[in-house]
């Protein structure tokens, strides 16, 4: 195939004010940029120009001046990242495959029903509509707030889950008024403990058990609320995927950016996990077939179900390059799913040498997901 392939993925981060969304984004990007300078990674990660400058400035403020960045209280922000193969010239880069990731963020006050002006209310409704078109959603549980409620964690957790249910109810009519129930939706919601450095002895299984014990009914209620937005609710996962996240080690007057947890799995979660899950759902005949039609209508290519893939392989259908990219990417994810660590390392090395960027990337990201599970940082829905 002579044309370069660009795969588009999206991730939405939901959390209350102060839960660490801004710090998480800055640390994620700054750490990736540091690794590019210190190591010989497979890919370069670049944010769009204006966001690059802002994120690096905030990251350096934490790393060098030990200052937490100011939170955004007034408007939504989305950041577009581009992953491209490292070590290529400009002409080669223009022709090579790539991955584009959109990270959606919003003022944490909106989580609890904020937005005081008409323009803020419009921005809130529009932002939530866009976020509800993402591939993966991170739902942040604030480790600091959880610690403050030690011994009565259920009080904080009930407020957290019930508060978001109420926020969704407030914007539900506006979100659904154009076209009814959503076909494209974050069908994977990962419950993530932010500021996990405050819980150094907690494993992701401990976190999962804590949530189920202290807030099981609230999690079920929020799951039911989310299902009110979606068509074909069998292909949906909420409360079955868990992650520990730490942007840095925070102590009074100091921020140690070298002490991080879970950040290196965010890209694989956004880029590979949705396709793994969609392939599984399709195998068991629960993935809605009209999802492909919806993706075509919106020109969004998240993942292709086998019917579309077969049509493309046979030279039928739209032939749109984005669909070809998604088909190719989905094939790679399926090939890597059950490979051992050793095989994945070998595949990645061979693909890197041959400059087969997407193949090497999927092998690396699959390794990261498997390693995070092994390190007890991630739990994936096993079904």
Q: What element of type H or E holds 327?
A: helix 321-336
Instruction: Examine the pLDDT at 126 and tell me if it is beyond 70.
Output: yes
**Section 146-175 average pLDDT:** 90
Q: Is residue 1 part of a domain?
A: no
Of 276 and 165, more confident: 165
Residue 147, in any domain of the structure: yes
Give the tens place of pLDDT for each residue, 247-278.
988 888 888 888 899 998 998 888 888 888 87
Pick from 69-73, 77-81, 177-181 the range whose average pLDDT is largest. 77-81
pLDDT exceeds 90 at position 375: yes
Q: What is the band of 356 on the pLDDT scale with cuts at 50, 70, 90?
A: confident
Distance CA 329, CA 266 (A): 18
User: Dihedral of CA 16/76/188/206: which sign?
Assistant: negative
Longest dimension (CA), the chain: 61
User: Per-residue pLDDT tens for 24-68?
Assistant: 999 999 888 887 655 656 778 889 878 899 899 999 999 999 988
Q: Is residue 337 pLDDT above 90, yes or no?
A: no
User: Which parts of the chain are beta strand (E)?
Assistant: 6-14, 43-47, 77-85, 98-105, 136-142, 188-194, 237-244, 249-251, 254-256, 378-379
Q: Is the pLDDT of residue 92 over 80?
A: no
CATH code (residue 34): 3.40.50.300
User: What pLDDT, on the 0 to 100 scale, is given for residue 243?
Assistant: 97
Lowest model confidence (mean pLDDT) among 41-50, 147-156, 342-351 = 41-50
pTM metric for this prediction: 0.83
Residue 184: count other Cβ atoms within 10 Å of its Cβ: 20
Residue 356 lies in a domain: yes
> Which tops the pLDDT comparison, 284 or 103?
103
pLDDT(161) > 90: yes
What average pLDDT does the structure give for the chain? 78
- What does the alpha-carbon distance between residue 316 and residue 122 come to, in Å, rounded to a whole number? 41
- Which domain does 23 fall in, by range? 6-379
Query: Partners of 7 in the beta sheet?
Result: 99
100 Cβ contact list (under 8 Å, min separation 6) = 6, 7, 8, 9, 80, 81, 82, 83
Q: Give percent of the chain with pLDDT exceeding 90.
A: 32
Look at residue 127 in the predicted model and tell me its pLDDT.
76
In total, how many domains does the chain have?
1
């Amino acid at each position: 195939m002579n044309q370069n392939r660009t795969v588009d993925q999206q991730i939405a981060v939901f959390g209350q004010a102060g839960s660490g969304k801004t710090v998480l984004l800055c640390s994620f990007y700054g750490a990736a940029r540091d690794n590019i300078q210190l190591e010989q990674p497979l890919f370069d990660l670049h944010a769009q120009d204006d966001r690059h400058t802002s994120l690096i400035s905030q990251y350096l403020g934490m790393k060098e001046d030990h200052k937490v960045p100011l939170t955004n209280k007034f408007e939504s922000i989305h950041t577009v990242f581009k992953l491209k193969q490292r070590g290529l010239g400009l002409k080669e880069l223009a022709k090579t495959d790539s991955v584009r990731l959109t990270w959606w963020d919003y003022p944490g006050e909106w989580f609890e029903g904020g937005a005081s002006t008409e323009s803020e209310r419009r921005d809130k409704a529009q932002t939530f509509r866009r976020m509800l078109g993402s591939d993966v959603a991170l739902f942040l549980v604030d480790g600091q707030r959880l610690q403050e409620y030690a011994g009565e964690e259920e009080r904080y957790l009930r407020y957290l889950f019930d508060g978001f249910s109420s926020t969704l109810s407030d914007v539900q009519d506006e979100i659904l008024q154009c076209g009814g129930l959503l076909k494209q939706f974050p069908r994977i919601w990962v419950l993530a403990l932010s500021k996990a450095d405050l819980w150094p002895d907690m494993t992701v299984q401990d976190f999962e058990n804590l949530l189920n014990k202290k807030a099981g009914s609230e999690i079920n209620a929020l799951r039911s609320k989310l299902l009110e937005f979606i068509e074909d609710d069998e292909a949906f996962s909420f409360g079955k995927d868990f992650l520990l996240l730490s942007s840095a080690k925070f102590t009074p007057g100091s921020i140690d950016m070298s002490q991080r947890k879970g950040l290196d799995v965010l890209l694989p979660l956004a880029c590979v996990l949705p396709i793994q899950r969609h392939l599984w759902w399709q195998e068991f005949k629960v993935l809605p077939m009209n999802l492909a039609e919806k993706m075509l209508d919106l020109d969004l290519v998240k993942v292709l179900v086998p019917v579309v893939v077969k049509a493309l392989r046979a030279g039928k259908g739209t032939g749109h390059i984005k669909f070809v990219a998604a088909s190719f990417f989905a094939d790679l994810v399926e090939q890597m799913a059950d490979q051992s660590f050793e095989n994945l390392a070998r595949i990645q090395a061979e693909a890197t040498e041959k400059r087969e960027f997407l193949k090497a990337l999927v092998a690396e990201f699959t390794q990261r997901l498997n390693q995070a599970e092994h390190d007890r940082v991630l739990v994936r829905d096993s079904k």
